[in-house]
Amino acid sequence: MRTILNSLNNNPIGFFDSGVGGVTVFEQVKKLLPNEDYIYFGDTKNMPYGEKTEAQLLEFADNIFKFFEKQNAKAVVMACNTTSAIVYERLKDKYNFKVYPIIQSVAKQFSELPIKRIGIFATPATINSHCYKKELLKHNDKMEVVEIACPEWVRIVEDGRENTEFGRQAVELKMQEMLMFNPEKIVLGCTHYPYLIDILQKFAPKEMFINPSEEFAKIIRNDLVSKNLLNQSQTSGYEKFYVSANPEKFQKSASMFYEIKDLPVLTEFQPA
């Protein structure tokens, strides 16, 4: 088994999301593992995922997994809370690569925080699945969890409207609802939401917000180490970005967290 795993060392790691949100995860992983090769797929044609049905999400994710299989990925990071919540269990054993779902990976660590009340901001699909709440309570049944759906936030980020009055009001409305619960911490349960931190911290201290990408990156790094799957190269790896629509818009929107030097490739592969 060790020989088989070693043969995969130099294969790339895949990331996917409905758009630029997953870049917040990619950026954290690359900081920890600069010598890996990376492939990122942003399904901008079909975003936002948070409004899609389970059948649609399964089709999108399955097609993206097939794309990564053709790219010989050694691991795929579900840098999307919605697909982690809805379709991870259906796909985790279907392909010959390790799959890392963001919610299931970080929930145990969050459940061990020395707090009693935690809030979750996420997409409607993630909230309706109650995946965060179930995972947190599985590890700590005494924790109080409040879940609030933020249906407009992904589009605000993708459209670059973080600094508009509409963006501010959309965030303020949900923050007012959340603060009524008096949470000790708030999980940004969609990888797009860290793009809104400048607005969010106007209503609560920055330290109150948890960006799961940071903890998720450490978990991915540690697991790759334990499985002897790290790239042995001593030089920086390559990065390739693919999108299913609007590469220029994707490149611009992602720039808050990461500078994508080459225009993402508008691929022939486009999920349905």
Question: What range defines the domain where residue 219 resides?
Answer: 2-102+215-266
Q: Is 131 a known active-site residue? A: no
81 is in an annotated binding site: yes
Indicate which residue of 190, 196, 199, 217 is catalytic: 190
Assign residue 225 the CATH number of its domain: 3.40.50.1860
Position 271 in a domain: no
Position 162 in a domain: yes
10 is in an annotated binding site: no
Position 96 in a domain: yes
Position 272 in a domain: no
* 230 phi and psi angles, rounded to 5 deg: -70, 145
Whole-number pLDDT of residue 271: 47
* 121 phi and psi angles, rounded to 5 deg: -100, 130
9 is in an annotated binding site: no
Q: Which residues of the chain have pLDDT under 50?
A: 1-5, 271-272
Query: Quick one: 108 and 96 in the same domain?
Result: no
Whole-number pLDDT of residue 29: 98
Whole-number pLDDT of residue 234: 84
Query: Quick one: 114 and 189 in the same domain?
Result: yes
Query: Quick one: 134 and 226 in the same domain?
Result: no
Query: Quick one: 94 and 219 in the same domain?
Result: yes
Indicate which residue of 80, 171, 199, 260 is catalytic: 80
Distance between CA atoms of 21 and 253, rounded to whole angstroms? 9
Whole-number pLDDT of residue 5: 47
- Which stretches of the chain are DSSP H helices? 2-6, 23-32, 54-70, 81-86, 88-91, 102-111, 124-129, 131-139, 153-158, 165-179, 197-200, 212-226, 247-254
Cα angle: 51, vertex 249, 196; to 5 degrees: 60
Query: Quick one: 13 and 77 in the same domain?
Result: yes
Distance between CA atoms of 56 and 58, rounded to whole angstroms? 5
The structure's pTM equals 0.93
11 is in an annotated binding site: no
- Overall number of domains in the chain: 2
Position 72 in a domain: yes
82 is in an annotated binding site: yes
Query: Quick one: 166 and 222 in the same domain?
Result: no
Query: Quick one: 27 and 73 in the same domain?
Result: yes
Q: Six-digit token pair at 240?
A: 């390739």
139 is in an annotated binding site: no
Query: Quick one: 72 and 148 in the same domain?
Result: no
